[in-house]
Amino acid sequence: MCNKSDIVNRLLADCPESRQSEAAVFAPANIALCKYWGKRDSELNLPVTDSLSLSLGSLGSHCTMRIHDGPADLVQLNGTTLPPDHPFVSRLTRFLNLFRQPPGRRFHIETVNTIPTAAGFASSASGFAAIVKALDAMHGWKLPERSLSILARLGSGSASRSLWQGFVHWHAGSGTDGMDSFAEPLPEQWTDLRIGLLILNSSRKTTGSTEAMRRTVETSALYDAWPRQVATDLAAIRQAIRDRDFQALGAAAEANALAMHATMMAARPAVLYWQPESVEAIQRVWSARADGLALYFTMDAGPNLKLLYREADRTTIEQQFDGLVTANPWQEREP
């Protein structure tokens, strides 16, 4: 059985070190069009299936990392120093334990999220991807992107996809050591495709995705069907991307998200992230589509919707959905 340290030791074995005093990096958030839901190895975050995501352009995590002289890591999130018992600090400290060379080294991490933290907006994905990029830059390791993706995966599965802009495919792999489970960007650029964040409810989620996935895999009678569903949806999404067929892309992504939520609703006890506002927004998307608008949605481990549309329809859709924040997956800088 492999653990996280084995993987880190293997990937860093022949790395040069030319330490900088500070590194500042950015990683975009990503939203899966074909979801990752369920692990075959929870220590190494090895997924049951492949998944495919779209990045959020300038929405993500800025991270500045330095060596810290104090007795513990110093973690600042959006300008506030977090207490050591904060869940984010505990999770980050455990992750950083994998990289303390010499042992006992402490880090000062300053993260600024340009995407709302929690509420299912995938800030842990961009957060861990940014930490890995910052570790690489600060130590001068110059790791290949595949290795960075594997390391980010150890922090949070979806972080493996947050190292690039655009479409990213995470290969589940089949090995037990996790070395063949990494993400890579697709070559296709679809420059008029947009993804919008519809913030309906910003309260923190009750059940985290790690626990919700575990419960679904272990208790949901519908989970058996999930890998087959993913294979079908992933093939449809890959084809739609090649064909630039927006209807096919939106339909497959929307159906995949609904199928994922169905698996978790059938868990015992059930996991239900939807709030009344979520259902109301789903109905509004469907009715706008019935009126001829090319608009689809996807949803993750939270009550909010992400909308898929094209630039030509952006103004109309922004007018219909109050507070919608549009991201351009191919544009890293603020317009």
For CA atoms 276, 117, 265, 225, the dihedral sign is positive
Q: Does 229 bind ligand DP6 (CB under 6 A)?
A: no
Q: Does 36 bind ligand DP6 (CB under 6 A)?
A: yes
Among 32, 44, 89, 119, contact with ligand DP6 (rule: CB under 6 A): 32
Instruction: Please identify the residue of the shown chain whose CB is closest to the bound ligand DP6.
Output: 157
Q: Does 123 bind ligand DP6 (CB under 6 A)?
A: no
Could you give phi then psi for residue 258, rounded to 5 degrees? -65, -40
Consecutive H or E run containing 151? helix 145-155
36 or 99, CB closer to ligand DP6?
36
Contacts of 230 (CB under 8 A, 6+ apart): 34, 35, 49, 50, 51, 256
66 or 238, CB closer to ligand DP6?
238
124 or 304, CB closer to ligand DP6?
124
Report how far residue 307's alpha carbon sits from residue 297's, in angstroms, rounded to the nearest whole number.
4
Contact segment (CB under 6 A) with ligand DP6 among 4-12, 86-94, 153-161, 285-293 equals 153-161
Contact mark string toward ligand DP6, 197..226, x via CB under 6 A: ------------xx----------------
Could you give phi then psi for residue 300, rounded to 5 degrees? -115, -145
Q: Does 156 bind ligand DP6 (CB under 6 A)?
A: yes
The burial of 61, by beta-carbon neighbours within 10 Å (0-12 exposed, 13-18 middle, 19 or more buried), is given as: buried
Q: Does 35 bind ligand DP6 (CB under 6 A)?
A: yes
Encoding tokens for residue 87?
């869940």
Q: Does 157 bind ligand DP6 (CB under 6 A)?
A: yes
Amino acid at 72: A
Amino acid at 144: P
Contact segment (CB under 6 A) with ligand DP6 among 16-24, 156-164, 196-204, 243-251 equals 156-164
136 or 300, CB closer to ligand DP6?
300
Among 49, 51, 111, 114, contact with ligand DP6 (rule: CB under 6 A): 51
CB atoms within 10 A of CB 173: 17
Stretch 83-122 residues interacting with ligand DP6 (CB under 6 A): 122
- CB < 8 Å & 24+ apart, contacts of 240-246: 241/167, 241/186, 241/188, 241/190, 242/188, 244/190, 246/193, 246/294, 246/310
Among 301, 307, 308, 317, contact with ligand DP6 (rule: CB under 6 A): 301
Interface contacts to ligand DP6, rule CB under 6 A:
32, 35-37, 45, 51, 122, 124-125, 156-158, 209-210, 300-301
